[in-house]
Amino acid sequence: MNTKLQQAFERFDQYNQQDPNALIWEEKTYPQEYFLALKLHDWVLRLKPDANEALRLASRSQHIGRWKIARKDYPAGREGYLKWRKELANFHADKSASILQEVGYSEEIIQKVRSIILKKRIKVDQDVQTMENALCLVFLAYQYETFYPKYRTKIVTILKKSLLKMDSHGHQFALALPYSEEGLQYIKEALRLIQS
């Protein structure tokens, strides 16, 4: 790993280790966004072992500092949700760009990282598509089983929206993950709706 890449990863990780929200995985407690960033990076490399530097950087900073902008600070409903998501994405892109500038990355690399974080040209740009696949897989692998019991009445709709953003390569990995019997039924139902 080159020095600049290592420095950027260290800076991203240090920032995300400040997350006051905890995630417990296999009886260990982690700052949530730090854990999820490490897992997102892992998934990107599983999906695309030859991932370029911009994609690797984006994978480690996709949701950097997510706790800084809370959903509760925005109006309820779809309009408030979309406004929150847009401002959050811009925050992630700006924060990662600031760190990359400090580390000494070129404007070209910084703009490519921003483009991936902002999910520009999904389904067209392969790096953005790889990131979207990886994001969905992180949710399915580490959050889905505790998430769906709270949303049983609308989980199939939620899954359908997520799975639609993925491509067939991502779907293969999604179906291979270990799920509870009930959890797997919802995923199969959502995939059936997509394919019908």
- In a domain, residue 134? The reply is no
How far apart CA 82 and CA 107 sit, in angstroms, is: 28
**Is residue 148 domain-shared with residue 103, that is, in the same domain?**
no
What the block records as the tokens of 128 is 């953005």
Domain hosting residue 85, numbered range: 3-120
**Is residue 66 domain-shared with residue 162, that is, in the same domain?**
no
Count structural domains, the chain: 2
Question: Tokens 């309009």 — which residue?
Answer: 79
Q: Which of 54-63, 74-83, 91-100 has the lowest mean pLDDT?
A: 74-83
pLDDT at 85 over 80: yes
Sequence-ordered list of residues with C-beta below 8 angstroms from that of 57, at least 6 positions apart, any chain: 5, 8, 96, 100, 105, 109, 113
- In a domain, residue 132? The reply is no
**Is residue 113 domain-shared with residue 152, that is, in the same domain?**
no
- In a domain, residue 95? The reply is yes
**Is residue 98 domain-shared with residue 22, that is, in the same domain?**
yes
| Cβ contact 36:67 at 8 Å | no
Residue 180 has φ and ψ, to the nearest 5°, of -70, 165
- In a domain, residue 133? The reply is no
**Is residue 62 domain-shared with residue 109, that is, in the same domain?**
yes
Question: Tokens 């779809």 — which residue?
Answer: 78
Question: How does pLDDT run across 166-186, given as a tens digit for each residue?
Answer: 998 998 899 899 999 999 999
**Is residue 93 domain-shared with residue 19, that is, in the same domain?**
yes
Share of the chain above pLDDT 70, in %: 99
**Is residue 16 domain-shared with residue 109, that is, in the same domain?**
yes
**Is residue 91 domain-shared with residue 153, that is, in the same domain?**
no
**Is residue 149 domain-shared with residue 106, that is, in the same domain?**
no
Q: Can you give the pTM of this predicted structure? A: 0.90
How far apart CA 156 and CA 100 sit, in angstroms, is: 38
**Final residue of a domain: which of 70, 88, 120?**
120
What's the Cα-to-Cα distance from 7 to each of 1, 12, 61, 94, 129, rounded to whole Å?
A: 10, 9, 13, 18, 26
How far apart CA 186 and CA 190 sit, in angstroms, is: 6
| Cβ contact 117:62 at 8 Å | yes
Question: Tokens 């997102």 — which residue?
Answer: 40
pLDDT of residue 193: 87
- In a domain, residue 188? The reply is yes
- In a domain, residue 129? The reply is no
